Structure 1
Amino acid sequence: MRVGVAGCAGRMGQMLLKTLAAVPGVLVVGGSERRGSPALGMDLGALAGTEPFGITVGDDASVLFENADVVIDFTNPSATAQHAGYAARTGAAHVIGTTGLDSEQVAAVTRAAQRAPIVLAANMSLGVNLLEQVVEQVARILDTEWDVEIVEMHHRHKVDAPSGTALILGEAAARGRGVALRRVAKRSRDGQVGPRVKGEIGFAALRGGDVVGDHTVLFAADGERVEITHKASSREIFARGAVKAVLWAAGKPPGLYSMKDVLGFSVAKPAAD
């Protein structure tokens, strides 16, 4: 299987190169970075901390989609939306781990998925995807007397907030309650904000140090509180999940897929009476 890595010099990109190099039957055929990146021209093996690949970093991601069966993409929202167009043109599978996409960029990815298999996932770890399912189930069981708050912390270099994973967890809680997140989300609080609105789903984003990613969903009622937490101590968990997505996506028909499709699990809704 031929695999390309867009954003290969980033933290996740380097981890992916190292992980992919050890997977039998996978051949890394290219890596790309933004124009002006100091990584341009470097051998991919130097980024992965392995033996030389004999392939250097380029600045044209379209070449990856022309030469690869699957391209994995941890870049930025505008680049990812453009890359989805390359996937649509070539039919190559596109595995997206980029977070912070706005509605127009998601729409561009969705359109591209009509012509290529695309896996879009804010978080590719098994634990977080399990957490998403648990949160949906708990939210379905508990009524709006239980307040929902989502707290996340990441390293000081993260540029989007709340994290994509926090928003996915918010969507899960909203699904469990049968509401649209956009109608009940409270992104931040500052100053004289008044009492908490019943039924809202709150978010708090913390940034500092080298934290890979911590997420806690709190269900708080009078006299008791339930907290469900996932803590990532290494980016390797995301790389392992991403490789699962790469192996799964190759040869799939066009469509927009999630990690639940890749991992093959979901929480079933209760049967109607």
Structure 2
Amino acid sequence: MIRTVITGVTGRMGGTLLRLVRESKDLELAGATTRQVSRLESLGVSGGEDLGRVLDTARAQVVIDFTSAEASVAHARQCAERGVAMVIGSTGFTAESRAEVAASAKSIPVVLAPNTSVGVNVVIRMAAELARVLGEGYDVEVLEAHHRMKKDAPSGTALKLAEVLASALGRGQDDLTYARHGQIGARPKQEIGVQTLRGGDVVGEHTVYYFGEGERIELTHRATNRDQFGLGALRAARWVTGRSPGLYDMADVLGFQRTS
């Protein structure tokens, strides 16, 4: 049994992870954190607000963290101090905060993924391959939609899609466009558009459009609940436990050969 700690256990993803860990046959809940400590007893969970203190008594092997970029940086540091592996599904990382996680990953293995769904990671890989095969004759756009409560935009998954598409097409960050308004002129040939929709209770939708002359290809992933994020996170937790220190992502977990 892999002794597992869940951070933010009273949140939407935390609750999903709690149920899935309890249903699994090879992961054991060793503790949890939340700001709503009074709710832990009703959930039948031991833990507290501070991850460091929980880890000091939990004998955990892995922490699964879907909190916030800021909190995840601090949690990674606490895990590194205690030699506990991590799976981070938080989004909204800046280059600086990602670098802080990478620094912690010099001491422990960390899977950092903007989306832990197995399906969406297959789509990310397919998106890059389609871009390479189609080449310069197609205009590429990314559209994402999420619930009204999501704080970061574009989503981490949309940014990951844009990153792999740009790499596949030999383009850079300067070629990414996140908004269009007014007299913007003709679309630059190298441009990759990344557009955002927010509303309702949409769990997550991502579509990559490949606009050609006389045809259009659409590659879409739609999440209808949060279970697939949780199941992917549990798969990552099993994979990362016992690994050598380093910063990994879901491509590593799924055994994808690096192509970009």
Same-fold status (TM-score > 0.5)? yes
**Do the aligned partners of 1:133 and 1:266 also contact (CA within 8 Å) in 2?**
no
Match of residue 38 from structure 2: 41
TM-score norm. by structure 2 comes to 0.94
Name the SS for the 1:135 alignment partner: helix
Aligned mate of 1:127, from 115, 119, 122: 119
Write the deviation string for residues 129-164 of structure 1: whole angstroms up to 9, x where unpaired.
110111111111122231110000001100001000
Name the SS for the 2:26 alignment partner: coil
1:44-83 matches, within 5 Å, as 46=43, 52-53=44-45, 55-56=46-47, 58-66=48-56, 67=58, 68-83=60-75
Aligned mate of 2:206, from 204, 215, 233: 215
Are residues 216 and 185 of structure 1, via their aligned partners in 2, closer, same or farther at CA, if it must alter by over 3 Å? same
Match of residue 6 from structure 2: 5
Cα distance, 1:247 vs structure 2:
1.0
**Do the aligned partners of 2:116 and 2:250 also contact (CA within 8 Å) in 1?**
yes
Name the SS for the 2:197 alignment partner: strand
Distance (whole Å) between structure 1 residues aligned to residue 41 and residue 127 of structure 2 = 39
Match of residue 229 from structure 1: 220
Say what the alpha-carbon RMSD is for the aligned residues: 1.5
Distance (whole Å) between structure 2 residues aligned to residue 65 and residue 185 of structure 1 = 41
Gaps of at least 5 residues in structure 1 are 47-51
1:1-273 matches, within 5 Å, as 1-34=2-35, 39-43=36-40, 46=43, 52-53=44-45, 55-56=46-47, 58-66=48-56, 67=58, 68-180=60-172, 182-266=173-257, 268=259
Distance (whole Å) between structure 2 residues aligned to residue 42 and residue 178 of structure 1 = 50
Cα distance, 1:97 vs structure 2:
0.0
Name the SS for the 2:38 alignment partner: coil
Q: How many residue pairs align between the two structures?
A: 257
Which consecutive aligned stretches of 4+ in structure 1 deviate over 4 angstroms post-superposition? none
Give the letter aligned to residue 33 of structure 1. Answer: T
**Do the aligned partners of 2:171 and 2:190 also contact (CA within 8 Å) in 1?**
no
Distance (whole Å) between structure 1 residues aligned to residue 259 and residue 68 of structure 2 = 33
Give the letter aligned to residue 224 of structure 1. Answer: E
Gaps of at least 5 residues in structure 2 are none
TM-score norm. by structure 1 comes to 0.90
**Do the aligned partners of 1:125 and 1:240 also contact (CA within 8 Å) in 2?**
yes
